[in-house]
Structure 1
Amino acid sequence: MSQRRVSHSQSRPSASRQVIEDDEEDLSFTLPSSSQVQRGMDRLTSAEVDRKVAEVVQFILIKDQKKVPIKRADIIKNVIKENRNIYPEIMKKVNMTFEKVFGLKLVEIDVKNHAFILVNNLEQVTDRLASMNPAHPKTGLLFVILSVIFMKGGAVKEAVVWNTLKKLRVDPGERHEEFGDVKKLLTDEFVRQKYLEYARIPHTDPPEHEFRWGLRAESEVSKTRLLEFVAQLHEKEPQNWPKQYKEATTSDARSSQAS
């Protein structure tokens, strides 16, 4: 008797189909009311809630290793599952755990798609960037790029970035001993991690691209401390750059209020 074989494409959903399904699942999710949350909490013991909180924390920590945003849909689908009616309470406890235990903060950087990243407090991250620790050469390179973008008004043509790196003996056309493929690092890895944005400049022929700060950089990096660092390099005061000084102080004041 012949048996009909199920093709591989039929048995497993395509990547694009999976993305659509994940998006549809998140669109179908609405935040439960306080009464729904309370009913859900009443059905679980405190130990069961704590266990679910720990599972979410572990899931986020693992996902964060790739430094890409973590979607709410993934948290619900892979961890919270049937306990989605107490999602707000779980995430409140998750946030408290990150802040008190790890010194981290879970920040929603994409409200439309409900995507989160983990960030350190501004002082810790900026100190790490400013130190240019040789153990973290990519962090030092990122700090240089962010500095150039900030001092140039928020957007810089990629040609300016490549010329700056060449002055530091880092050629985007050659494989670097520490950074590997430098162009891929900036236009792919740092972009996926939301430290940089890389976009085509409209109406340019041949096409030109520019770099901007990404959402993670905006959340993690203190512009005031960055400007102080640049000022030290030039042996000047931050106020010597009035436009950048005003932007830095305003930006950090907003971040402090949000915290």
Structure 2
Amino acid sequence: MPRGNKSKSRVRQKQQQTREEAESRRIFEEAATVVEKHLLSLSFAVEDDLQSSSATESASTSQASREAAATIFTYSGGFHTTAESKKDEEQPCTSEFLSPDHSGSDDLLAAQVSVLEQFLLYKYEVKQPILEEDMLKIVSRKYHGVFSGILKKACDHIEVLFAVDLMEVDSISHTYDLVSKLKLPNNGRMRADTGLPKTGLLMTILGMIFLNGNCATEQEVWEFLNVMKVYAGKKHFVFGEPRKLITKDFVRLKYLEYRQIPDSDPPCFEFLWGPKAYAETSKMKVLEYMAKINKKSPSSFLPHYEEALRDEEERAQARGASRAGTSTIGRKDPSDKSTSISTPSDD
């Protein structure tokens, strides 16, 4: 190739790389903003739990808040339901889940979603089974017709924040549990006795690393987390002290690799996926998680989607080769004419 064409090709490649890097940064910054919004909403809910149970209610209190007051959740004191004298008199809601365009009902539905979300997290935190009948009890009777939609929204919020899925563990009693997407100790908790799952933070970091070219400097990771209002050295109400969690706990559990960048002076560090991350998830699953946060299709994240597809194909080929190798173990080669030695039977 002539020297001029080579130079133009390098320029085009550099421009393409710059565009891809800018797009990746935009994607994970948008994701961080969405997560931060949900965390802020959850922190307000926790702070307002005791206040919402107060007998005094200002004249400016919204109708949605009054609806939500029917079911009061308190992290420190557990969950309890207050009686609504007019509940049984309310007309059932339509079975079609109302869209945000229904401005008159949007706040009321959001309140029901928030209450159910908090209830699910409470059950997770105290390690109690989640029964469908209990979920129906805390959702206003008026909204039983759209319960499935309310539950889906609550689960979507929890999945974005904590990377856990609501799964049915007993179809007879309709019992559910929140199950971590990764096999972190204690189903996503870092301590056996209490706490909310840390899987969401780990999944977002894995996603950020993948979108950043499968490697991210420590500075880039903290810039990303700062958008989520997660700061090194500052205790977070969900994640605790994040620096220890990320650079010590996740590294010790082999979900992240934390290493010094060669020849960096002063020393700088970078993060990569650890072996447990490669074993328990995949680029496609992480991309699907990031896409869900951004409310987009994974295929819209080119070229990362193409890389994730190649990774899926390589994994499938590796599994096929492993199965083929296992099936030949102990199988006698037809060309082997040797006589096997048999032990005499005991007559």
Q: TM-score, normalised by structure 2?
A: 0.35
Structure label with greater radius of gyration: 2
**Relative to total residues, which structure has the larger helix share, 1 or 2?**
1
Q: TM-score, normalised by structure 1?
A: 0.46
